[in-house]
Amino acid sequence: MMLNALKRGISREMRNMWQRCSVAVMLASVLFLQTWGLDTSKPNILLIMADDLGYGDLGCFGNTTIRSPNLDQLAKEGVKLTQHIAAASLCTPSRAAFLTGRYPIRSGMASSNKQRVLHWNAGSGGLPTNETTFAKLLQQQGYVTGLIGKWHQGLNCESHNDHCHHPLNHGFDYFYGTPFTLINDCQTGKNPEIGLKQKATYWFYTEIVVLLVLTLLLGKVTGLCSVKWKTIAFIALCGIVFFFCWFVSYGFVNYWNCIILRNHIILEQPMETEKSASRILKESISFLERNKKGPFLLFVSFLHVHTPLVTTKMFRGKSRHGLYGDNVEEMDWMVGKILAAVDEKGLRNNTFTYFTSDHGGFLEARDGDVQLGGWNGIFKGGKAMGGWEGGIRVPGIVRWPGMVPADTIIDEPTHLMDIYPTVAHLAGASLPQDRVIDGQNLLPLLQGSAQHSEHEFMFHYCGSYLHAVRWYQKESGALWKVHYVTPKFNPEGAGACYGQRMCQCSEEAVTHHNPPLLFDLLRDPSEANPLSPNSEPLFNTIVSQIERGVDEHRRTLTPVPEQFAVYNNIWKPWLQPCCGTFPLCWCNKGIGDDDHMSIF
């Protein structure tokens, strides 16, 4: 143990020396840039987020078979964050935390039921209007702000055009993309995802009504029962209305959810999934061109690499990992095109560039024996698992030439929520003082003026249930993690919930641990060997210290409306975005095929 501690100390000291040298170089660079009249006070900000990308899917994070040359180069030119953590293991709550710098439970974007993401464009749940996103902060500082790609934070509250949750109501000047997410229902021939259990239940009830009506008719005709025709007609009418109500919502999911907007205007309903990648890329480059004089904030929120893994012909069949690998390689190519556009417009040196994923890879995404989800490296678990590392540890890359050292690795705990105070600082914006901001400014750590993360505790929720907590001791460098609740894998020991679409957070689907499972993440990052009072003399002390942190954290929470409550997360026809006369919602105002072909 002493030898390991000594090795860690030597390694830490060498890294500290390197970072101190880097600080000196960067200070000289700043003086040089200012001497030549280049404004570094308000850099452009480019944030790129993948969807469902696993920690181990990129070459720069250990993958030796999927090709990611552009992201590997980005990591070489900047800083790689190896302990970068998402606030949730599903997209809607994770992205809410990213946008606001706050744990999702603070904004009501954490669920106490099984619906842990927004299920409809026509639901009333979404990112509350009283939340302040980093886009809104930067907009107030004179930045032109744009979001290209996926939103998945809701649209409307009370009418189909109040746009209360819309990106333009949360600080973005421009939006092009889907207000929802990419799902199997968006692509012809794929097995649907939305409401599988509900549809089966509703079909069952419909069949019961049909059987009842037929039985009554038979009894009436044969004289076996004296039921009035009006009664039979009324039951039949109720059955027809019931069938219509549920089938209209679940039978046309691609029309209701799979749409493309430009600002408030619906361009495609349903969206042309095969052309979505080229159009997102074209829109991103166009935004850079329009705003190259800066300062700008561009958030590119990819649909890649979410199932159904829509991949263009140019990349299909090219990787060694099937369709998933093809999709990752296409995403990397798109990143390369965006970064090339930054270079061509002379923006590289004054652009803070960041890449990450919203959470870990989707282990249960399979087509027979074919894996359709990501690889989370050595880490246990994946998407939808609130505490296990594979669901919440994500790639993190930052590049800012001359201001952030190149080819550097930071092993300190960092968080997606840290981007909020970081970009606010870069823009000269003040953080809101009327609420708790959980993120920490990354710049001191990135630039080497600070050696340790400012995070002492990180809280890992599954919906609104606290499943795990990590405790970082700056002085010793120790990194502990306790699990109070873990999902029950299906089959047992499989490492995922293959018997269902994804792991759940509560009730019979989980195991509660008292005392909690304790892991030393520095020695056991795979969380394979839980410690005990016999194997770890400080077991009780560590657990009690973490419980103190949990108590302090809970004292900062205040009750807020739950955005994923059943009523907020059901399809409401009056909230449905429609480019025609409801329910005849169909249009295609997208850019032409020539634009698609010119990109690919």
Q: Give mean pLDDT, residues 139-149.
A: 98
Identify the pLDDT of residue 501.
86
Mean pLDDT value of segment 124-142? 98
* Per-residue b or e along 13-45, where b marks 16 or more CB atoms closer than 10 Å to that residue's CB: eebeeebeebeeebeeeeeebeeeeeeeebbbb
Q: Across the chain, what does the average pLDDT equal?
A: 91
CA torsion through residues 306, 307, 312, 317, sign: positive
- Taking the CA atoms of 119, 121, 122 and 128 in sequence, report the sign of the dihedral they define: positive
pLDDT above 50 for 32: no
Kindly indicate the confidence band of residue 135, based on its pLDDT and cuts at 50, 70 and 90: very high
| E-assigned strand segments in 106-209 | 144-150, 174-178
Checking if the pLDDT of 593 tops 60, the result is no
Q: pLDDT (tens digit, 9 = 90+) per residue, 80-119?
A: 999 999 999 999 999 999 999 999 999 999 999 999 999 9
Determine whether 91 is an active site residue. Answer: yes
Cα separation values, 11 from 5, 6, 218, 560, Å: 10, 9, 84, 45
Percent of the chain with pLDDT strictly greater than 90: 80
Catalytic residue among 60, 84, 91, 553: 91
Average pLDDT over residues 398-426: 98
Q: Check: CB of residue 585 under 8 Å from CB of residue 576.
A: yes
> Which has more confidence, 463 or 600?
463
**pLDDT value, residue 1:** 39
pLDDT over 70 (residue 591): no
- What is the per-residue pLDDT for 598? 57
Measured in degrees and rounded to the nearest 5, phi and psi for residue 448 equal 85, 0
pLDDT at 280 over 70: yes
Q: Which residues does 447 contact at the CB level (< 8 Å), separation at least 6?
A: 22, 23, 26, 403, 404, 405
**With pLDDT > 70 as the criterion, what percentage of the chain qualifies?**
92
DSSP string, 533-576: TTT-TTHHHHHHHHHHHHHHHHHT------TTSGGGGS--GGG-
The amino acid at 62: G
Say how far apart CA 367 and CA 544 lie, in whole Å: 44
Q: Is a pLDDT exceeding 80 seen at residue 507?
A: yes
Q: Which pLDDT band, with edges at 50, 70 and 90, does 576 fall under?
A: very high
Beta-strand pair 296-301/465-472: unpaired
Q: Is the pLDDT of residue 274 over 80?
A: yes
Query: Does the structure show a pLDDT above 50 at 385?
Result: yes
Q: Which of 214-228, 273-287, 311-325, 455-469 has the lowest mean pLDDT?
A: 214-228
Q: Report the pLDDT averaged over residues 532-537.
A: 96
User: 26 or 344, which is more confident?
Assistant: 344
Which of 84, 119, 152, 553 is catalytic? The answer is: 152
| Least confident piece of the model among 352-366, 486-500, 524-538 | 486-500
Strands 44-50 and 393-399: unpaired
Please say if 165 is a catalytic residue.
Answer: no
